[in-house]
A and B are shown apart, each in its own frame.
Chain A
């Protein structure tokens, strides 16, 4: 899933300076699962912003709605009375925030979260990046462990000199992806795969404004 983290309430309050009628929109899929932008988090944020305004003696009306997904017109259409608001705060990932901005072009749409990565749910509240969405999956060659996402340098041909006791040079609490890959391939009796030199990636694919057309 896509993993995002909540923005600090102070930052959101600052974005809303000058507005007194605001809609906060939660997203029922990825950001709900990662405890960042679902119905519950929208409610908490709305309450906090209301309180901060109250302390300053200001008035703000905050509407709250949560739809199943903000990256899909079908669900965005379910939002009600949006035109009554001066601003929207979206708690979806970057794709969902922009979905609202595309639909409601007359109303400023603010991000309620920072979108971080495509990750795995390690345990309740703990997520790890697993995929860079590079568009050229090589997991068949690397024991099902992605060096593009999980090696700090995205190396394709083995560990750098900074690997230390199986940990990464940037932090001793992060695993060296290439030691994991080596061990996995060794366990599978597939070390010959480690020895193949992988060619540089085609960033012409990952770096462009990507579309996927499966319509035909």
Chain B
């Protein structure tokens, strides 16, 4: 059973993610991967996350597979034009990568190479269409491939976006463009998420709610201030501020959220941001 089969079987699915390091030393990342092995259905491999230059996604996805962990290959449109994207997708297929998460990508000016030329030749909706084309055996130019791909393509959505309407319209476009699953930005406001799910569920696409591990009250405040589409409620910030061991409290909160989400959506995507080895504790706290 793989990620696709799990998600299609209706089982509650857990994914997490690893960020490739900046540099060639992957020791710490391997430690994280091993801690997550067997605990999650698949692991996202981020793509120059936050526009910060790191090891390429393809190489790390291969490292995961060599360790017998299924990757979800994140692909952004920021750094490659349509030739580069398609060529890397074919490469991913050759390596045996099955899952792709199509993203537009953070803007270059938010990262560590602010003077880079941002590409954005195509974007997430169009990338989903491209992946479907490759699955059908043709490239963007309409040319036939010698051997087609068989990707399980997903996308992201921000259920707490403000304003939500344009985001939701884009979500609908992503479904139309062929997204077979969604992972969401971190969800904190359960009422908002319930409302979102009520509207989204009619599209019949599995949605994995984003659960982001809060490590301290300071981190929660930082997210509220600087990260679009995340709003950590004051009660949670207070809970973290009052805790003797904030990280432990964060694990407890994340576990609680997952338990709450269990009956609401198809699964969760746990983002531990550098504390990936705590994911098993979060899942235990959730009773999974």
Contacts and interface: CB of A to CB of B under 8 A. Distances in A.
A179 B169 CA distance: 11
A77 B123 CA distance: 47
Interface stretch (B12-20, B57-65, B106-114, B248-256): B106-114
Contacts of A160: 104, 123-124
A201 to B, nearest CB: 8
A195 B105 CA distance: 21
A147 B107 CA distance: 15
Contacts of A157: 123-126, 170, 173
Contacts of B177: 197
Contact of B121 (A164, A186, A200): A200
Contacts of A197: 125-126, 129, 173, 176-177
B165 interface: yes
A66 to B, nearest CB: 34
Given A155-B123, A166-B163, A200-B121, A161 B169 contact: no
Contact of A158 (B125, B156, B185): B125
B126 A159 contact: no
A182 to B, nearest CB: 4
Contacts of B105: 153
A158 B170 contact: yes
Given A153-B104, A169-B110, A162 B228 contact: yes
A200 to B, nearest CB: 5
Given A159-B167, A163-B228, A182-B166, A152 B121 contact: no
A194 interface: yes
A166 B106 CA distance: 17
Interface of A: 152-166, 169-170, 178-179, 181-182, 186, 191, 194-195, 197, 199-200, 203
B212 to A, nearest CB: 14
Interface of B: 78, 82, 104-107, 109-110, 118, 120-126, 129, 140, 156-158, 161-163, 165-167, 169-170, 172-173, 176-177, 185, 228-229
Contacts of B82: 200
A156 B123 contact: yes
In the A-B complex, list the 5 residue pairs whose CB atoms are closest, starting with the nearest: A158-B170, A164-B228, A157-B125, A182-B166, A153-B120
Contacts of A154: 120
A200 B162 contact: no
A115 B170 CA distance: 35
Contacts, number: 94
B101 to A, nearest CB: 12
Contacts of A153: 78, 104-105, 107, 118, 120, 123
Contact of B107 (A159, A169, A178, A199): A169
A162 B106 contact: yes
Given A153-B123, A170-B107, A164 B229 contact: yes
Contacts of B120: 153-155
Given A152-B107, A169-B106, A158 B140 contact: no
A161 B129 CA distance: 19
A30 to B, nearest CB: 25
Contacts of B162: 164-165
Nearest to A155: B123
A207 to B, nearest CB: 10
Nearest to A152: B107
A103 to B, nearest CB: 32
Nearest to A165: B162
Nearest to B122: A200
B126 A200 contact: yes
Nearest to A164: B228
Nearest to A194: B169
A143 B95 CA distance: 44
Q: Which of A156, A160, A166, A178 has the most CB of B within 10 A?
A: A160
Contact of A155 (B104, B158, B169): B104
Contacts of B121: 200, 203
Given A160-B123, A161-B167, 14 more contacts: A153-B78, A153-B118, A155-B120, A156-B125, A157-B170, A158-B167, A158-B169, A159-B161, A161-B161, A162-B106, A163-B228, A170-B109, A179-B163, A182-B163
